[in-house]
Amino acid sequence: MRLISLFGLPFVAALASAAVPFKGCQHKVKESIHGPPRGWSRHSPAPKHHMLELKIALPQPKFQELEQHLWEVSDPSHPRYGAHLSKEETDALTAPHPETLDIVNEWLASHGLAEESLIRSSANDWVTIRVPVGLAEEMLDTTYYIYKHAKSGESIVRTTSYSLPEILHNHVDLIQPTTMFARFKAFKSTLHWGNQAQPPVLSTSTGTITGPAGNQVDASCNSSVTISCLKQLYNSVAYNTSATNGNKLGLTGYLGQYANNMDLQQFYQLENPSAYGSNYTFVSINGGLNNQTYAAAGIEANLDTQFGFGLTWPTPGTFYSTGGEPPFNPDMLTPTDTNEPYSYWLDYVLSQPMLPQTISTSYGDDEQTVPFTYATRVCAGMAVLGARGVSVMFSSGDFGVGDGDANPATQICYSNDGLNVTKFLPDFPASCPYVTTVGGTVNIPETAVFFSGGGFSNYFVRPAYQEVAVSEYLAKLAPGTYEGLYTPYGRAYPDVSAQAMHFAVVYQGQTIPVAGTSCSSPTFASFVSMLNDARLNVGKTPLGFLNPFLYSSGYTALNDITAGNNPGCGTQGFNATTGWDPVTGFGTPDFEKLKALVLSMP
């Protein structure tokens, strides 16, 4: 088990002579895993001429300084609150040491890779190269194989260990794709979500229910969640957003998830007629597409855009489509095999001078399928976004404390370290301490939805901002509860929650019910976007990284969820209770209360 605080990532500059003798230099293992995660099996050696796009992460020696900026500009009680950094400032704080650049450049050149063949990130902390498998194996002293995933049928080219010349070890954090088997799937509850179109959502409920804000909510919202339902439930019916104050909402799409524009317009006609005819900005990253044929429509992408942009209209919206997992067919020798969507997305957004103030993502995977080094670097990228004033939300996952490969009541969850220890399986990036993670609720009055992902990271230690709240929760557990199944001092999640079932989404021209924390994250993010709108209207800065605010005072403006649990791994999981809990966090938004609170801050 490897828990770290990203405060003070180690960097040791290795002094080198002007000429580094890479040829013949002894290699030393840089990273290895016990074997492929459960569900993956080795198929055959990778063809030597198959092209790999390798991303090389270089150390960020000033990250500790950047993190200190993040804490200060995100803490409402600090004099620097809201003084977010610029792109140029964060680039300077994440740039590698010049000596690192020199040594890595010389190593690449020794393998025939000249500067013009390299792709560098904005801060020069990532270098991307395209090389055939044969050359990658020579550079990394390894052997690549084709691995197949039994359940999905996917094939990828990976290795379980790679090495570098010893002189490079302090100058390279990681190289991928090598040991990473994460699929970064969309968070959709397979217990509720059919891949085929279902009958239209119809509700026969009449009358009203008293919501948590004391206002009346249509009773039909217990069986079909609409934009109107969410605005009623979360107390924002009276608020109208602006299209002219610079506020923007960003939504991400991966794995070939396309947002169908005809479905979006049909959704607007049904749920927000004022938005009918409006559009969003489409941004393609790493070859990401947005195929507009009905057959290519993605339920996840439709859900995100319909509810995210529908709730916040007329706030301008951006939909990022990131390529990174082409349908690799080992027999057809597909030209390039990657599967690193988050690093490609981060590369792009961090290179932009202006960003949406609020961004939601509904994708992730078991933390243990993501190499520790990769997880820490992607998480560090999220810290950069926070320092720049972006509120980043992620879904908490849809399988309680487990991984969703079996009935949660009987599912057995194992570690992937060769020991096959029974343990809960946290999700990533939900477990990153620099994002706001959103769990799920259901019904009115709200309770925790049973698939709401939650728990404790095995990679990241609990950040200071949640020490009091999480300690109070753990103190309520009976002694010995789930002892050994989770890491009690790990980063705990989720932070907040929102509705996660019965969302009425238009898909291929039909209205279907959708469930999952894929619903929760864009929903909560939409209300955060409205809060940013309110602050910008009075000349204040956007909220940026939310968690220091949420854990210090923001929780007082949330609806506490005190019933429900998140079963998995053959257990009942954790329970929702008064205060923070690892099922629903601090609860769901009360927009008017939150607005009053954020407008009272600097």
* Residue range 34-65, pLDDT digits in tens: 999 888 999 999 999 988 999 999 999 999 99
Looking at residue 127, its pLDDT comes to 97
Residue 328: pLDDT over 60: no
Residue 306 pLDDT class (50, 70, 90 cuts): very high
Mean pLDDT of the chain: 91
The verdict on whether 331 is a catalytic residue reads no
173 is in an annotated binding site: no
Residue 331 has pLDDT above 60, yes or no: no
Q: Which of 218, 300, 325, 590 is catalytic?
A: 300
pLDDT at 317: 98
Contact yes or no for 293/510 (Cβ under 8 A): no
Confidence of residue 339 (pLDDT cuts 50, 70, 90): low
Q: What is the pLDDT of residue 98?
A: 97
Q: Is the pLDDT of residue 200 over 50?
A: no
- Is 398 annotated in a binding site? The answer is no
Residue 410: per-residue pLDDT: 75
* Predicted pLDDT at 38: 84
Query: Is the pLDDT confidence value at 125 over 50?
Result: yes
pLDDT the model gives residue 282: 97
**Partners of 28 in beta bridges:** 164
Domain ranges of the chain: 208-328+384-398+431-587
* Lowest mean pLDDT, pick from 268-282, 286-300, 405-419, 453-467: 405-419
Question: Could you give the percent of the chain with pLDDT greater than 90?
Answer: 80
Burial class, 27, CB count within 10 angstroms (exposed 0-12 / middle 13-18 / buried 19+)? middle
* CATH code at 208-328+384-398+431-587: 3.40.50.200
Q: What's the 3-state SS for 383-417?
A: HHHHHCCCEEEEECCCCCCCCCCCCCCCCCCECCC
Q: Are 439 and 585 in contact (CB under 8 A)?
A: yes
Catalytic residue among 67, 125, 304, 340: 304
Task: Consult the annotation and say whether 579 binds a ligand.
Answer: yes
Q: Does 211 carry a binding-site annotation?
A: no
| Mean pLDDT calculated for residue range 509-516 | 95
Region 417-443: what's the mean pLDDT? 94
Q: Six-digit token pair at 413?
A: 């969850």
Q: Is 327 helix (H, G, I), strand (E, B) or coil?
A: coil
Residue 67 annotated as catalytic: no
Residue 337: predicted pLDDT: 53
pLDDT at 536 over 80: yes
- Mean pLDDT across the stretch 514-519? 96
Q: How confident is the model at residue 425 (pLDDT cuts 50, 70, 90)?
A: very high
Look at residue 184 in the predicted model and tell me its pLDDT: 81
Residue 202 predicted with pLDDT over 70: no
pLDDT category of residue 4 using cuts at 50, 70 and 90: low
**pLDDT value of position 126:** 97
The string of pLDDT tens digits covering residues 347-392 is 999 999 999 999 999 999 899 989 999 999 999 999 999 999 999 9
Question: Taking residues 195-221, what's their average pLDDT?
Answer: 74
Long-range contacts from 481-487, C-beta under 8 angstroms, 24+ separation: 482/424, 482/571, 484/421, 484/422, 484/423, 485/401, 485/422, 485/423, 485/424, 485/569, 485/571, 486/401, 486/423, 486/424, 486/426, 486/455, 486/456, 487/1, 487/3, 487/456, 487/457, 487/458
Whether 206 contacts 389, CB under 8 Å: no
The DSSP letter of residue 297 is B
At residue 287 the predicted structure's pLDDT band, cuts being 50, 70 and 90, is confident
325 catalytic? Reply is no
Contact by Cβ (8 Å): 388, 555: no
Q: What is the pLDDT of residue 69?
A: 98
DSSP structural state of residue 26: P
pLDDT score of 416: 85
Task: Provide the pLDDT for residue 194.
Answer: 41
Report the pLDDT averaged over residues 151-178.
Answer: 93
**Cα three-residue angle 464-57-290, rounded to 5 degrees:** 90
Please tell me the distance from the alpha carbon of residue 333 to that of residue 281, in angstroms, as a whole number: 34
Is the distance from CB of 216 to CB of 206 less than 8 angstroms? no
pLDDT digits (tens, 9 = 90+) for 170-195: 999 999 999 998 878 787 654 444 44
327: pLDDT strictly greater than 70: no
The predicted structure's pLDDT at residue 154: 81
Whole-number pLDDT of residue 535: 98
Report whether pLDDT(20) > 60: no
Least confident among 94-98, 256-260, 589-593: 256-260
Q: Taking the mean position of all CA atoms in its chain, how far away is CA 572? A: 25
Which of 321, 518, 521, 529 is the catalytic position?
518
> Reduced to 3 states, what is the DSSP secondary structure of residue 102?
helix
Range of weakest confidence among 197-201, 425-429, 469-473: 197-201
Sign of the C-alpha dihedral, residues 582, 490, 589, 568? negative
Q: What angle do CA 227, 382, 395 make, to 5 degrees?
A: 35
